[in-house]
């Protein structure tokens, strides 16, 4: 059958390559009993293709049932699809056949199949593999010979990764995939669809057909159409009813296209998120406050240690000089002509001129902000055995910031 006659029969408007390819695959797979998975964004017209598959199959004289899986509550979906026995649950006053039983020898279209609960996915997988199912509240195995065509507007691969969809069911449904292109990928079809909808609404509401000025046509074709064909149809109906002037200008059309100003820009750049700056600034403040607290603790410790040394008796064999240098109240400085060292207790032996560190092994304390930051980073890396992700979490900063600090301070990690 010719492609154009198929479009006329099923009300398909457009000549884009992606659309023609989808129709061609649907016609070719129709005579088989293979499962088909139709994917595409919401509003692209996925519901037409199961009808094409059914009408061009050997099942065209049998039942065709379309089920919106996302519209059926989770508690009743199994009963709707597979039926139930009398008394199987509250309100089940009679036995009832499910869609798979009613559609025996025909075709069932499962729209929004990605919304099925996991328990229902197991039942569906059994039907696809063996043709068997069990009514809710029964133990009797029933058989059905039904062709399944499914559709979804969500990425099932992502759903599989997050545990919301069974991988084995995906491959069983996806025997033959058909992808319906979004309207923004069919720019050559936008004006055709607009004219078709405008004529339909003019006839429905008994009023003259609306037309688009040249600038308005360009705007229509450059718009991104997040709602696809459904959005274009709704917009055309709104304009047909509301506008008195039948020639729609650029400025008039702008009122019916959300966010048209941002869409018309030839190029967009992603502005920096102010929250990012706020978050990093808060982290920096927290780090500085923590460092200030640590410095105060260190000063207190140094003062205590100095007090202990001031009251410690000096050995007769050695002449020790321990003098504290004053810088903001607590820094060491020696009057001895030997080499001075900051923030460190030094014992000067005049007999052999050898520098000996305090036997209490008091660590050199640097009150430099940079030095303190380096020490914190090194300690965090050592604690987590060089794993920057966990070290960054320990420090309360992002991994990117930690990497920059490591590179800036030339820290070996």
Percent of the chain past pLDDT 70, that is, above it, reads 78
64-68 sheet: strands from edge to edge: 64-68, 107-111, 147-152, 36-39, 176-179
- pLDDT of res. 289: 66
Residue 275: is its pLDDT beyond 50? no
pLDDT tens digit sequence for 157-175? 999 999 999 999 999 999 9
Stretch 210-238: mean pLDDT: 95
Q: Say which range, 33-42, 219-228, 296-305, 366-375, has the weakest mean pLDDT.
A: 366-375
- pLDDT of res. 340: 44
Q: Say which range, 74-83, 192-201, 262-271, 302-311, has the weakest mean pLDDT.
A: 262-271
Residue 292: is its pLDDT beyond 80? no
Residue 103: is its pLDDT beyond 70? yes
Number of H helices, E strands in the chain: 17, 11
CB neighbourhood size of 302 (10 A): 19
- In the chain, what are the helix, strand and coil shares in percent, each to the nearest 5? 50, 10, 40
Q: Say which range, 197-206, 245-254, 292-301, 402-411, has the weakest mean pLDDT.
A: 292-301
Instruction: State how far the Cα of 95 lies from the Cα of 136, in Å rounded to an integer.
Output: 10
Identify the band that residue 386 occupies on the pLDDT scale cut at 50, 70 and 90: confident
Residue 43: is its pLDDT beyond 50? yes
Beta strands per DSSP E along 221-291: 247-248
- pLDDT of res. 395: 83
Residue 314, classed as helix, strand or coil, is coil
Stretch 21-29: mean pLDDT: 97
- pLDDT of res. 261: 53
Comparing 186 with 378, the larger pLDDT belongs to 186
Residue 368, classed as helix, strand or coil, is coil
- pLDDT of res. 382: 86
How buried is 49 (Cβ within 10 angstroms: 0-12 exposed, 13-18 middle, 19+ buried)? buried
Does the predicted model carry a pTM greater than 0.75?
Answer: no
Identify the band that residue 396 occupies on the pLDDT scale cut at 50, 70 and 90: confident
Stretch 208-212: mean pLDDT: 96
- pLDDT of res. 318: 45
Is the torsion defined by CA of 332, 337, 338, 339 positive or negative?
positive
Residue 363: is its pLDDT beyond 50? no
Q: Which two tokens stand for residue 208?
A: 């003259």
- Among residues 170, 174, 144, which one has the least CA distance to residue 35? 174
- pLDDT of res. 398: 84
The average confidence (pLDDT) of the chain is: 82
Instruction: State how far the Cα of 389 lies from the Cα of 283, in Å rounded to an integer.
Output: 16
Instruction: State how far the Cα of 396 lies from the Cα of 411, in Å rounded to an integer.
Output: 18
- pLDDT of res. 312: 52
- pLDDT of res. 269: 42
Which secondary structure element, helix H or strand E, spans residue 298, and what is its range? helix 274-310
Residue 102, classed as helix, strand or coil, is helix
CB neighbourhood size of 241 (10 A): 12
Residue 260: is its pLDDT beyond 90? no
Instruction: Give the dihedral of Cα atoms 262, 264, 265, 267; nearest 10 deg.
Output: 100
Instruction: State how far the Cα of 157 lies from the Cα of 116, in Å rounded to an integer.
Output: 15
Q: Say which range, 251-260, 284-293, 333-342, has the weakest mean pLDDT.
A: 333-342
User: Are residues 37 and 177 in contact, defined by beta-carbon separation less than 8 angstroms?
Assistant: yes
Domains annotated for the chain, with CATH where assigned, are 3-181 (3.40.50.300), 185-264 (1.10.8.60), 274-357 (no CATH), 369-409 (1.10.10)
Identify the band that residue 239 occupies on the pLDDT scale cut at 50, 70 and 90: very high
Instruction: State how far the Cα of 320 lies from the Cα of 357, in Å rounded to an integer.
Output: 12
pLDDT tens digit sequence for 295-348? 777 777 777 777 766 655 544 444 444 334 444 444 334 444 444 444 444 434
């Amino acid at each position: 059958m010719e492609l154009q006659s198929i479009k006329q029969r099923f009300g398909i408007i457009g000549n884009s390559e992606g659309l023609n390819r989808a129709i061609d695959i649907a016609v070719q797979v129709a005579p088989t009993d293979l499962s088909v998975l139709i994917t595409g964004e919401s509003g692209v017209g996925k519901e037409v293709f199961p009808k094409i598959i059914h009408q061009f199959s050997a099942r065209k004289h049998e039942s065709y049932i379309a089920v919106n899986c996302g519209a059926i509550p989770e508690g009743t979906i199994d009963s709707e699809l597979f039926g139930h026995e009398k008394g199987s649950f509250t309100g089940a006053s009679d036995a009832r056949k499910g869609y798979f039983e009613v559609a025996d020898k025909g075709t069932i279209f499962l729209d929004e199949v990605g919304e099925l609960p996991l328990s229902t996915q197991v039942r569906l997988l059994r039907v696809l593999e063996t043709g068997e199912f069990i009514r809710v509240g029964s133990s009797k195995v029933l058989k059905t010979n039904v062709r399944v065509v499914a559709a979804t507007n969500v990425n099932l691969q992502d759903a599989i990764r997050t545990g919301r969809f069974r991988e084995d069911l995906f491959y069983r449904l996806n025997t033959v995939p058909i992808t319906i292109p979004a309207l923004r990928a069919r720019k050559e079809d936008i004006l055709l669809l607009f004219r078709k909808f405008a004529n339909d609404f003019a006839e429905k509401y008994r009023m003259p057909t609306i037309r688009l000025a040249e600038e308005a046509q360009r705007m229509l074709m450059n718009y991104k159409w997040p709602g696809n064909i459904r959005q274009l149809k709704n917009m055309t109906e709104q304009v047909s009813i509301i506008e008195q002037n039948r020639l729609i200008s650029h400025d008039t059309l702008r009122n019916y296209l959300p966010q048209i100003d941002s869409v018309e820009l030839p190029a967009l750049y992603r502005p920096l998120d102010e929250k990012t700056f706020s978050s990093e600034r808060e982290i920096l403040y927290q780090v500085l406050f923590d460092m200030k607290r640590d410095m105060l603790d260190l000063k207190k410790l140094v003062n205590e240690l100095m007090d202990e040394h001031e009251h410690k008796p000096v050995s007769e064999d050695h002449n020790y000089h321990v003098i504290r240098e004053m810088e903001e109240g607590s820094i060491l400085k020696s009057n001895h002509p030997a080499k001075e060292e900051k923030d460190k207790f030094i014992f000067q032996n005049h007999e052999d001129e050898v520098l000996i560190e305090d036997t209490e092994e008091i660590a050199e304390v640097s009150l430099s902000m940079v030095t303190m930051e380096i020490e914190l980073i090194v300690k965090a890396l050592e604690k987590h055995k060089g794993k920057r992700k966990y070290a960054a979490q320990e420090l309360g900063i992002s991994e990117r910031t930690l990497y920059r600090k490591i590179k800036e301070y030339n820290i070996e990690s």
